[in-house]
Amino acid sequence: MVQHTESPRSDADDDFEDPFRRLRLTNGIEHEGTSNLVRSQIVSVLPGQCHSLQDKILKLTFSRTDVDEAGSAQDLSIILSVDASPGCGGVVWPAGQILSNYLFTKGSTYLRGKNVLELGSGTGLVGLFASLLGPNHVWITDQAPLLGIMRHNISMNNLDSKCTVVGLDWSAYFGLLSI
């Protein structure tokens, strides 16, 4: 007789399925009423878009029905490697999707000829998306654990000539701030 047992779930498995779950926990206990937060309140403000997630690769497609000032109505897609193991920056946050959608609605000429600096880029979504809109150059920044994922995402989207990863550890500057 062969007995089949399921392998125990790891935190990494849970993080992959629901990267926001740790935000709802205190001492390992979920806050009351937050189990459906990701599917309800957060998702309700996200821009309408197609997305797919397979093998820790997320593809986001931003669509528009109108034509921008340059006559462009095309969809734009970004492919991102996501990984919650280096911390919260390794996932795609709704705010990044909303800001990317805002840039998309501003049109293809909005960033043309400008230089862009994204602070705390995480996966690099906003900076990578901005790179598609014609700026002179984009720099995406974050702490050391996220630099590899950002470089990988630049490469997957063929944006090596338009976007540069720079390490920026904000904690090194806390002593310079007077609050």
- Domains, in order of start, for the chain: 10-44 (no CATH), 46-171 (3.40.50.150)
Sites in the chain below the pLDDT cut of 70: 1-55, 65-73, 174-179
- In sequence order, what are the beta bridge partners of 142? 167
Task: Report which of 128, 123, 111, 129 is spatially closest to residue 163, judged by C-alpha positions.
Answer: 128
Q: Which residue type is seen at 17?
A: E
pLDDT of residue 92: 87
pLDDT of residue 87: 77
Q: How many CB atoms lie within 10 A of CB 5?
A: 5
Does the pTM surpass 0.75? The reply is no
pLDDT of residue 4: 43
pLDDT of residue 54: 57
pLDDT of residue 42: 45
Rounded CA gap, 83 and 79, in Å?
13
Contact assessment for residue 60 and residue 77, using Cβ atoms and an 8 Å cutoff? yes
DSSP-H helix ranges across the chain: 11-17, 43-44, 94-106, 125-131, 147-156
Rounded CA gap, 87 and 97, in Å?
18
Torsions phi, psi of 116, nearest 5?
-125, 135
Q: How many CB atoms lie within 10 A of CB 164?
A: 17
Task: Report which of 60, 67, 53 is spatially closest to residue 128, judged by C-alpha positions.
Answer: 60
